[in-house]
Amino acid sequence: MIKNELRRNLKKLRDDIPSDKRKIEEELIAKTLLNSEIYINAKSLFIYNSFRSEVDTTYIIKEALNEKIVGLPVTNSLDHSMEAYEINEDSVFVQDSYGIQIPDTKTSNIINPKEIDLTIVPLLAYDNLGNRLGYGGGYYDRYLPRLREDAIVVGIAYSNQFVEELTVEDFDKKLDYVVTVKYEEDRAFGEMKKF
């Protein structure tokens, strides 16, 4: 299956998660991440502002603002580049060309990628090797190599976003961890997988 068709199918799968199940999984994902050592030890967090059917990051951002330097992505669709702009509780937001709420670049400062400890990335799917399927814009594939070598990259994913194997390109960047949800005997658990 070609990547664009796979993306369409996976996006529909994510869009179709029932709202009650989505809420349960989002709470477990947020709780698992916020209680993890990698989150607790991070002084700075670069995280996406959730959009449409992505795992909701609102609660994670709200919690992180109390104790960490927090950055949100601002993309440039002309050259597919991205920067992390620092936010706080007084930040002004504007809507970008995709309809995503982003920090106003006139009133917010860029965070040096080398100063980011933990990055949370959106995804359509991940596999057992930590490969990630994004949306095809290449923003994160260009940005992630600019981080420090010891910076940690985490994907957050609903339980139905795992695939056995993804076809990857040389420039695709792997995840260090994924935070997701697993089910055992009809009970849901937050799970952090290390790659």
Beta strands 177-184 and 187-194: pairing type?
Answer: antiparallel
pTM of the model: 0.95
Query: Can you tell me the distance from the alpha carbon of 82 to that of 60, in angstroms, rounded to the nearest whole number?
Result: 21
| pLDDT surpasses 70 at 1 | no
- pLDDT digit string, tens, across residues 19-64: 999 999 999 999 999 999 999 999 999 999 999 999 999 999 999 9
Q: What percent of the chain has pLDDT over 90?
A: 90
The strand pairing partners of 178, in sequence order, are 155, 193
Q: What percent of the chain has pLDDT over 70?
A: 99
Q: Work out the number of other CB atoms within 10 angstroms of the CB of residue 32.
A: 18
- pLDDT digit string, tens, across residues 77-93: 999 999 999 999 999 99
Q: Model confidence at 173, in pLDDT bands (50, 70, 90)?
A: confident
Helices 19-34 and 58-65 pack at an angle, to 10 degrees, of 30
